[in-house]
Structure formats: structure tokens, C-alpha cells
A and B are shown apart, each in its own frame.
Chain A
Amino acid sequence: MNSVTNVLIVGVGGQGVILASEILAEAALKIGLDVKKSEVHGMAQRGGAVSSHVRFGSEVHSPLIGVGDADVILAFEALEALRWAHCANRDATILVNDMRLVPPTAFASKGTKYPDDPFAELEKLGRRAIKIPADEVSRELGNVRLANTILLGSLSQRLEIPVTVWLETIEARVPKKTIALNREAFERGRAFLQ
């Protein structure tokens, strides 16, 4: 079997899931790997659940990660981490932005509710989840949009893509004025994981 790395990035429409997966895919292409990245557009704009599959390695066939075959899940929101947890393989790390977005339809939903403690639920499933306070740190850095870069920083600790390639790819995608801030955000994100 050729070794393919499977990264699933999930979140809520408008949070920047697609941009994050573009950056990861471009970084993998830069180091000479075959890459496939897949998501479904259309409904993302309107606050729906969004997931993006990124696969890279020497040769990639399927654009989709099989259920239970994700090596890393990067979740931009806690409920979304729970929704996609079954896609992770048994050794996978689930990196979760420590924030909750309660869907506006939640009050009308009979039965399932927004979980009181999504992290406890992940643990109950026997999943290895790591909380990343990306929203909090982005506010500290003075720009909520930096959460994206912070999360990518954390993700970078779990993937074999050199930091210089990550930074180069991110810098090509953000406004010039914010390059220094994005570097800092990336480092802050990296520091949450060893």
C-alpha cells in the first residue's frame, strides 16, 4: 500500500474551513506530493456544516477519505468535531477549536440538543481530542480571522510538511499587512502541541 495521509477539516460555513484546506493542499503540492482535496460547495455559505477532505502521498486515487480512515481531524467548532469523530481512525488526533456555535434551529429540534460538554462526549467515544483555544488567542492577537492560522499551526505538528513551506503558503494567501501577525499566530498554534 502506498502511504497516503488523510486530513479531514470540519466546521461551520463561513469559518474558513475551505481556505484552510486549500492551504494544506497547496503546501503538500509544494513538497512534490500528489494531492486530492474534496468538499461540496453550495450550502456552505449559509451556516451549514462543512467538511473538506485532504489526501496526499506519492499517489492518491480516491478524492474522499473513507469513514474511519482519517489520520487527523481538525475541527473549527466543538459540535462539528463530534459530528465527524467517527471518520477518524483509532490512532487519530482530533484537534478541536475550543468554541461552540449553537445552530439557530437548535431550539426547534426535538430530541438531540447541543451537548453540554462536547469534549467529554469525545472522550466517552475513546477519541483522543486536543482542545486548541484558537478563538481566544486570535482575540488576544487582535484579529478573529487569525483563528484559522492558529489551527493550521497546531495541525502542522501532526504532519510532515516543513514549517517554511507552511508559512510560504499561508503568506501567499493573506493580506500583506497581516503577514507578521499570521506568523505569530502560526507559532502560537504550534506551541499547543508537541
Chain B
Amino acid sequence: MKKLLSGDEAVAFGAWRAGVKFASAYPGTPSTEILETFARLPGIYAEWAPNEKVAVEVGIGSALAGVRTLVAMKHVGVNVAADPLMTFTYTGLNAGFVLVSADDPEMHSSQNEQDNRIFARFAGMPLLEPSDSQEAYDYIAYAFDLSEKFDLPVMLRLTTRLAHSKTVVDVQEETLEVAQRTFRRDIKKYVMMPIFAIPRHRALLERLASVQEESERSSVQNIEMQDSELGVITSGVAYQYARELLSTASFLKLGLTNPLPAEMIRHFAQRVKRLLVIEELEPYLEEQVRALGIECEGKKFTSRLGELTPERLAVALEKVGIKAAFAGTPTEPLPTLGRPPVLCPGCAHRAVFTALKATGAHVFGDIGCYTLAALPPLEMLHTCFCMGASIGNAVGVAKAGNSLKPIVAVIGDSTFVHSGITGLVEAVYNDARITIIIVDNGTTAMTGGQDHPATGKTLMGIEATRLDFETLCKAVGVKHVWRLNPLKLDDFEKSLRGSFLVEGPAVIIAEHPCQLYPIRQERVPMVVEAEFCNGCGACLRVGCSALLVTGELSSEGLPKVTIDSELCTGCEVCAWVCKPVAIKFPAAEEVMNE
């Protein structure tokens, strides 16, 4: 049946068809929907792991046990999971294991745009690059065949454009036949101490040599011969742009890009007069084509930065004298007022940063919705590197010893579980004078509200033992732990200032449910009493979309503010900063009259 599926959905359905019974992941845009979709399919087990390293380790276990296994993550997740992966290619596996890496060229929602094709090559994983959802669906089954045939974990790489675009997929009704396997003890293969790892490294190179042969004749490598004046080597979504703009050129479209089919590339290069390599981000294909002694043009005209788009490719081609079939006109947008994402009305993160602002502390940040507090109008974070970094960063600043201000790390609940706990142990062990605020909204909000070990529910909707942050903090030796509702701003600010007086590390668990997930919270909107509003704008500086400027001016000639009752939740953060006390809950009789 023909269906419109995103690349993520296609991977999930394709994996199910290929007999995958086990999937583990940690959420991360643009990969999250893979497991969310897979978890709803019948007869499978799917889970959120606390982080990507654990997801891979769990996945290794299930593959060794004999069950086809899918592990999915965003590109930076592969950094976290790198340790087991780099050795997993030595050992090999029992049932197939496919790692989906969803890369994010253009950094639509990421902190970097690393090209994980290089990771596949580094680790020695066969690499598949689909160019639309149909290919994602088909390649997944092929990836499992490769994995089992060559005894290697396989990487399937999506990019944001593929993961989140919907294209037509012919979805098959029945699942494929998969051989039954069971666990077998084999220490020479699975115990990677030097005596066994040395021969396994050699075995890895031998297995890759066999995959190389497969690569030369695989059905996912396609030569489309047309005009021999111009030949293009490409892979992934770049193929789609190139195919559209160069409708008469010849193509070598590669689906299996590690190891590359050297003979096929040589053969293709000989048949065309001019050879282009068109790829997003790094010159991954180009450098390897050159290493074969073949002249080609690649990053000389396309950028190593960001996504390729039709207009960017058209402009790039023009630079090297090639006229593209581009119907548009690459013009710059008008300078229009920006519309950046903001914290939702009622989000308790806003209260945390409003209190922090009042104390004048130095705040080190982490990744999640709360990273938005780095931007105007809150402007409260100094750093954001990777998940879990805030605590280590804060310890480092404290130990450097030249800061006069209180030092604070702010970290989300999901991020704390992911990789903040070891940072906390560091803070305790090395006795750093910092305050750590775990902003606990009871969900992984940034990626769309996934459960995690501290929510007490699993991906499959089953109740789980809930990780209790207070108990955990005390167990690792934190002596001062507060558990507070940040919307009670007076108390919260007082405790915050109290925590600065503590000699060693202090933890504040700022608990308040996310406004959106898992369910939208009840709202009791507030109102601005116009006669008291002096137009000072303090409320606007908490950055809430429920606050609007009216046309009316105050006696000081400043614009008065009003509240959008459709958006306001009644969190009272704006009221807390309102000096003239103009923001209130409507009197009971007014509510009745509505």
C-alpha cells in the first residue's frame, strides 16, 4: 500500500518488516520519531535508554542473544556511544544490529553538524545512505542482511531533511523470514582483552574487504548513464537536488558508502568527461575518489557548511560554469522581524531564570528547552556544549578560583539522567562550591515529551521504578538538597541565595510539570489592571508570548501591557517582577461573569 511516510517512520516500518524485535534509543531530533513509531508496532520490545552509550550496550546484548536489533540516535549521540561501537566492529555479532544515525546538517536543532559518515569509516561499519523514505524503508532490510552476512554492525545514516520529509513508500504487508538464533559463548570473539582483540582487529579488516566486494556489485549502487559530458557521484538527499538540477547528466548514485566501490567509481569516471562529486558537509566521497587517483570537483564549489538546497546547489554549479535547470531566483529574504522559539507560557524554567537573574549568579547551561534562556530577553546562560556539560563546566570555573559571583549549573531532568550524574559525583568528590539546579519538568520536553527513568513510565507505557533525584543526590554525598516549586518565586529565590552560602556543592531540585507534556496543564489566566500599569516593561523581560503591548501609553509615555487570556496559564512570573502590582488574578465575580 502506498503511504506518505517520513524517513523516521519508514525506518521504523522497514525495521519491523525486517524482523526486528528489539529497539533501544535515547531521544534526539531528528531521530526521535523512529522509536516512537516502532514502539506502537505489534510483537516487539522498544525502550528509551538513559543515554546513547547504554542504548548501544543494551543493543549489543540483544544482538548477541540472537534478536535483530535497531538502535537509533541523533548524530551527537554517536559521540556518547562511541566507546562500545569502536570495539563492537571488532567482535561482530550474532543477529543483525543496525545503528541509525540521524545527522543534522544546518543544525536545525543541534549544537554541531558533524558528518557521521566519517564515524562509520572510523569504526569500520558498513554505511547506507538512503535518499528518500522508500529507500530508507528498503535499505533497513538490506542493512540487516549485510550485518548478518558480514558479522558487523551497520550504520544507516539519515539527515534531518530525510528524517522529517514525507515521501511515498510502498509499504509491504508481510514481514520477511528471519533465521532463529540463540546465544553462544565465544570468548575469543566477545572478550576484547588484548590477546583476543589483536586477532579481531585483523578479522575486522578482512570482513571489511568482503563488504568492499559486496559494494562493487550491490543493487544500491546505481549508474544512470545519460550525457557523458558531465558525470556526478553523489549519495543521500544530495542526489535528489543534483538529479533535479542536472537532468541530463550521468549519475553514479551510491547507497552503500562505506566501503566505497572503487572499481565502479573508476569505471564511471572513465565514461564521463567531467566528474563532479556532490555531497553535503564533509568531502567524504570526494577525498576517497581522489585517493583512487581520480580527478574530480567537489568542495571546490559546494560548501562544507549547512544543508545543500536547490538554490545553493544552483549557485554553486554556476560558479564552476555549469548551468542548472533551476526555475527559481536565489534571492535573499527581506530583513523581517525574527520569530525565534521561546519558552512556553507557564513554563517553570522561566521562573528559575527570573530568580537567578535577581541573584546575579554566573550560570552555566546545558541542553534542553532551558537553553533558550541564553537568548534575549532572559540572557542568563554562559555556556552550552553537550548534554551533561553544565556541572563539569561549573566545577571548573569554581576551581579556577577567580570568580567572585556565585556559580550555578542548570540541567534538565532528562539531561541529568543522561550524563549529569557523573558530573555531580565530580562536584562532591572534589568539593566544588557550586549550586546545581535540576530543572525537573517531569519529561524530555525539547524533543517532544519522552519518558525517562525519573518519570516512572517506559516507552511502552508501563509503570517503572521512578528514579528519585533527592535520594540519589544524598546517596552520592550532597549534604544540602532542596526540593522546591520554582513558581513559588519568593521561597525559591530565598533558597537559591541560601545555597550560595553552602561551602560545598548544593542541589536544588526545581520541580514543576512541563506545560505541554505529558498533558497540557490547567490554566487560570491573569489580567493586567490597566490603571496600575506604568509601562516599565519589566514583565516583558521575562519573555512570555502571553504578554502583549497595547497601543495605549502610560502617564510616563511608555506602552502598557495586556495579557492574552488564550495563552496565559497563571504562573505569576510576570506578576513577581511587576513593581506597581498591576498583574493579578481576576476577582471572583469577574470570572463568574465570563
* Contact between chains at B330 and A37 (CB < 8 Å): no
* Contact between chains at B342 and A104 (CB < 8 Å): yes
A76 to nearest B CB, angstroms?
12
- Among A45-53, A153-161, A185-193, the stretch that binds chain B is A45-53
* Contact between chains at B311 and A68 (CB < 8 Å): yes
- Chain A residues near B332 (CB, 8 Å)? 86
Interface of B is mostly: loop
Instruction: Answer yes or no: A146 CB below 8 A from chain B CBs.
Output: no
Instruction: Answer yes or no: A184 CB below 8 A from chain B CBs.
Output: no
Instruction: Answer yes or no: B199 CB below 8 A from chain A CBs.
Output: no
* Contact between chains at B549 and A102 (CB < 8 Å): yes
- Chain A residues near B311 (CB, 8 Å)? 66-68
Most buried by B among A63, A89, A107, A112: A63
- Known A35-B168, A69-B327, A108-B377: A42·B244 in contact at CB below 8 Å: no
Instruction: Answer yes or no: A85 CB below 8 A from chain B CBs.
Output: yes
- Chain B residues near A102 (CB, 8 Å)? 548-549
* Contact between chains at A86 and B331 (CB < 8 Å): yes
Q: Mark A33-60, 1 if CB is under 8 A from B, else 0.
A: 0111111111101111100000000001
Using CB atoms, name the residue of chain A closest to B133.
Answer: A36
Q: Which residues 254-306 in B have Cβ within 8 Å of A in the complex? A: none
Most buried by B among A45, A80, A125: A45
B350 to nearest A CB, angstroms?
11
- Known A49-B339, A61-B241, A66-B326: A36·B331 in contact at CB below 8 Å: no
**From A40, A111, A121, contact of B108 by CB (8 A):** A40
Q: Which residues 327-380 in B have Cβ within 8 Å of A in the complex? A: 327-344, 369, 372, 375-377
* Contact between chains at A89 and B543 (CB < 8 Å): no
* Contact between chains at A67 and B336 (CB < 8 Å): no
Using CB atoms, name the residue of chain A closest to B335.
Answer: A112
**From B108, B166, B327, B375, contact of A43 by CB (8 A):** B108
| Interface residue count on the B side (C-beta < 8 Å) | 62
B486 to nearest A CB, angstroms?
19
* Contact between chains at B328 and A66 (CB < 8 Å): yes
- Chain B residues near A67 (CB, 8 Å)? 309-311, 328-331
* Contact between chains at A48 and B337 (CB < 8 Å): no
**From A41, A47, A85, A114, contact of B337 by CB (8 A):** A114
- Known A25-B4, A69-B310: A125·B334 in contact at CB below 8 Å: yes
Using CB atoms, name the residue of chain A closest to B8.
Answer: A41
* Contact between chains at A68 and B330 (CB < 8 Å): yes
CA distance A121 to B337 in the complex (A): 13
Size category, A interface: 35 or more
CA distance A121 to B333 in the complex (A): 13
CA distance A107 to B560 in the complex (A): 12
Using CB atoms, name the residue of chain B closest to A48.
Answer: B341
**From A43, A63, A83, A105, contact of B334 by CB (8 A):** A83
CA distance A97 to B237 in the complex (A): 33
Q: Mark A104-129, 1 if CB is under 8 A from B, else 0.
A: 11111101111100000100010000
- Chain A residues near B481 (CB, 8 Å)? none
- Chain A residues near B541 (CB, 8 Å)? 108
CA distance A114 to B548 in the complex (A): 13
Using CB atoms, name the residue of chain B closest to A43.
Answer: B341
**From A22, A46, A61, contact of B240 by CB (8 A):** A61
* Contact between chains at A89 and B337 (CB < 8 Å): no
- Chain B residues near A39 (CB, 8 Å)? 164-165
* Contact between chains at A45 and B516 (CB < 8 Å): yes
- Chain A residues near B419 (CB, 8 Å)? none
Instruction: Answer yes or no: A172 CB below 8 A from chain B CBs.
Output: no
Instruction: Answer yes or no: A29 CB below 8 A from chain B CBs.
Output: yes
B544 to nearest A CB, angstroms?
6
Q: Which residues 166-193 in A have Cβ within 8 Å of B in the complex? A: none
Instruction: Answer yes or no: B161 CB below 8 A from chain A CBs.
Output: yes
- Chain A residues near B339 (CB, 8 Å)? 12, 47-49, 79-80, 83, 103, 105
CA distance A104 to B328 in the complex (A): 33
Using CB atoms, name the residue of chain A closest to B311.
Answer: A67
CA distance A104 to B377 in the complex (A): 9
CA distance A43 to B545 in the complex (A): 15
Using CB atoms, name the residue of chain A closest to B544.
Answer: A104
* Contact between chains at B377 and A64 (CB < 8 Å): no
* Contact between chains at B342 and A66 (CB < 8 Å): no
- Chain A residues near B549 (CB, 8 Å)? 102, 106-107
* Contact between chains at B344 and A46 (CB < 8 Å): yes
- Chain A residues near B184 (CB, 8 Å)? none
* Contact between chains at A82 and B334 (CB < 8 Å): yes
CA distance A129 to B281 in the complex (A): 37
**From A84, A104, A111, contact of B547 by CB (8 A):** A104
Q: Which residues 71-129 in B have Cβ within 8 Å of A in the complex? A: 108-109
Instruction: Answer yes or no: A164 CB below 8 A from chain B CBs.
Output: no
* Contact between chains at A38 and B244 (CB < 8 Å): no
Instruction: Answer yes or no: A13 CB below 8 A from chain B CBs.
Output: yes
* Contact between chains at A42 and B30 (CB < 8 Å): yes
Instruction: Answer yes or no: B29 CB below 8 A from chain A CBs.
Output: yes
- Chain B residues near A111 (CB, 8 Å)? 335
* Contact between chains at B448 and A62 (CB < 8 Å): no
CA distance A83 to B331 in the complex (A): 12
- Chain A residues near B336 (CB, 8 Å)? 79, 82-83, 112, 115
B236 to nearest A CB, angstroms?
12
* Contact between chains at A37 and B341 (CB < 8 Å): no
Q: Which residues 136-158 in A have Cβ within 8 Å of B in the complex? A: none
Q: Which residues 143-167 in B have Cβ within 8 Å of A in the complex? A: 160-162, 164-167
- Chain B residues near A63 (CB, 8 Å)? 132, 161-162, 165, 167, 237, 240
B322 to nearest A CB, angstroms?
16
B558 to nearest A CB, angstroms?
11
**From B4, B132, B543, contact of A26 by CB (8 A):** B4
- Chain A residues near B341 (CB, 8 Å)? 13, 43, 45-48
CA distance A179 to B325 in the complex (A): 43
Most buried by A among B165, B333, B342, B541: B165
- Chain B residues near A65 (CB, 8 Å)? 310, 328
A69 to nearest B CB, angstroms?
3
Q: Mark A1-39, 1 if CB is under 8 A from B, else 0.
A: 100000000001100000000100110010000111111
Using CB atoms, name the residue of chain A closest to B372.
Answer: A46
B279 to nearest A CB, angstroms?
15
* Contact between chains at A42 and B342 (CB < 8 Å): no
* Contact between chains at A40 and B377 (CB < 8 Å): no
CA distance A125 to B332 in the complex (A): 13
Q: Top 7 closest A-B pairs, CB basis?
A: A69-B328, A68-B328, A66-B310, A68-B329, A46-B341, A66-B328, A48-B341
5 contacts between A and B (CB under 8 A): A29-B2, A35-B168, A61-B244, A68-B330, A112-B337
10 more CB-based (< 8 A) A-B contacts, given A61-B241, A66-B314: A25-B4, A36-B165, A45-B344, A66-B309, A66-B328, A67-B310, A68-B331, A86-B331, A104-B342, A115-B337
